[in-house]
Structure 1
Amino acid sequence: MTGRTKATEFLSASGVAFSVHDYEYAPGGGLIGMQAASSIGVDPACVLKTLVVEVDRTTPVCLVVPADHKVNFKKVAALFGGRNARMMSPEKSAGLTGFRSGGTSPFGQATPLPVVLSSTAMAQPRVYINAGDRGLVVCLAPADAQKVVDARVAEISAPAAPVSPA
């Protein structure tokens, strides 16, 4: 991978400091954010997953939350004056953002969506966020991530229940 994507070009143009890291992307391997954390050797709380949701089936929103967290869709809906929120289909998300599933980034989207950054992420000194391609993340300060996409910071997630071995 070259590390050159719409997301990294956007970050470069924004003038924020970041580094690019690749990891082994395994589409059938389960939780991609957790795979990335394991592959690059960092705490999953520092690796943020990027999700695209719809509030009341009309308002697309980009969520950026720790890989080891679960989204509270009711809280997301309430932030936008809605009643409910749900995941957007991968096809519709790709059409809006310009990124395929597993490579969605809040940076450099074809149609910039409102971004909500989990308040939990703001406590980290550095975070890893998808760089616009599968198997690629950027590392940057969470305040820089928030600033460049004018993200709303809110408590929209909580730690997921640990997965028990089968």
Structure 2
Amino acid sequence: MSEERAVAALEQSGISFTVTRHGRVSSLAEAAAARGVAPSAIIKTLVVRRGEGDYLFVLVPGGRTISWPKLRALLGVNRMSMPDAATAKDVTGYERGTITPFGATTAWPVIMDETISGTVSIGAGAHGVAATVDADDVVTALGAQVADVTEPE
């Protein structure tokens, strides 16, 4: 099960976290209220295709979106794309809306936007399930690269 895999990976990482279960939500504001954090502390995990069979996770705070020019410049590539839902599930083990680097079937590289800090809430493998963690612990546990890769929505 996806949630169990994500929680087990969080436990194995050794970082402190709290799981919140709230069911499906329909907006960023609703998710933030259900998780007890600011909208900017909701972390979206996006899967990006860098090349054939080459993916990465980009952690984006609520209210922001990937800046493709910044991400391409950081990675030194000319083209990138977001995989379709079926491919995203194949390469992560999670369906869209539940994707997290924790417990993904492949430990793809992680890039975390530099605006993410403090206490944050990241998906935990199932709809309406999240883990509240410290952003610095996420960087350490995932070996994430922190960089300026987003812009306001």
Match in the other structure for 2:123: 130
The answer to whether the aligner puts 1:46 opposite 2:41 as a matched pair is yes
Could you tell me whether the CA contact under 8 Å between 1:56 and 1:77 is conserved in 2? no
Letter in 2 for 1:131: A
How far does the alpha carbon of each residue in 1:15-72 deviate from its partner, in whole angstroms, 9 at most, with x for none?
Answer: 110000122314xx3x5x4441132242111110111011256531111111211110
Q: 1:78 offset after TM fit, Å?
A: 2.0
Count of residue correspondences = 152
Structure possessing the higher relative contact order (Cα contacts under 8 Å, 6 or more residues apart): 2
- TM-score under structure 1 length normalisation: 0.84
Could you tell me whether the CA contact under 8 Å between 1:9 and 1:108 is conserved in 2? yes
- What SS does the aligned partner of 2:103 have? coil
Match in the other structure for 1:153: 146
Decide whether aligned partners of structure 1 residues 4 and 55 sit closer, same or farther in structure 2, where only a CA change above 3 A counts. Answer: closer
Could you tell me whether the CA contact under 8 Å between 2:44 and 2:60 is conserved in 1? yes
4+ residue segments displaced more than 3 Å: none
Structure 1, unaligned runs of 5 or more:
161-166
Q: 1:14 offset after TM fit, Å?
A: 1.4
Structure 2, unaligned runs of 5 or more:
none
Give the alignment's Cα RMSD to 1 decimal.
Answer: 1.8
Letter in 2 for 1:25: R
